[in-house]
Amino acid sequence: MVNKLVDYATTKIISSFTPSIDNIFLKEGIFIEAGIIENMAQTVALHTGYTYFLKGEEPPTGYIGSIKRVTINKLVGIGEQITTEANILHEIMGVTLVEIKVKNAHSEEIAIGEMKTVIASPNE
C-alpha cells in the first residue's frame, strides 16, 4: 500500500500511494478506511525497512501492537494519490509509537492516527 518513498529522516518518513483498480481495499471505486489504515501501517514498516537497508542489515519482522485515535475525514478514489507522513514520537526496545497523517493530492488532511509497532524477537 506504498508506491514511493518521498522523504526519510531518522524520526520521520513520507510515502505516497495511488490506489489502482485492482486494489483489494476498493469498494465501488473508493479506497476504503481499511486501506488507509493499511497504508499507515505500511508507511511505518517502510521506515523500519529503510533504516535497516541503510545499515546494510536484513530488516526484521514487525507487528502492529496497537492502533488508536484514528480519524478518517475523507476517502479517495481510484487514481487519487495520497501522501502519508509518520513521525516517531517514542522508540524503545523495539517498540515504536508514531503519529501518522494522511493527505490527499490537494493537501487536505484526510486521516490522522497513532500506531504502536513492535519488532519481533530474533527467534520468531
CA quadruple 10, 1, 75, 18: dihedral, nearest 10 = 100
Please say whether the beta carbons of 39 and 17 come within 8 A. yes
Tell me the C-alpha distance between 54 and 28, whole Å.
Answer: 40
Sketch out the chain's domains with CATH numbers: 4-119 (3.10.129.10)
Tell me the C-alpha distance between 124 and 111, whole Å.
Answer: 32
- Which pLDDT score, from 0 to 100, does residue 120 have? 84
Residue that has been written with the C-alpha cell 525497512 in this structure: 49
Please say whether the beta carbons of 110 and 39 come within 8 A. no
- Which pLDDT score, from 0 to 100, does residue 74 have? 96
The pLDDT tens digits along the chain (124 residues) read 999 999 999 999 999 999 999 999 999 999 999 999 999 999 999 999 999 999 999 988 989 999 989 999 999 999 999 999 999 999 998 899 999 999 999 999 999 999 999 988 765 5
Q: pTM for this structure?
A: 0.92
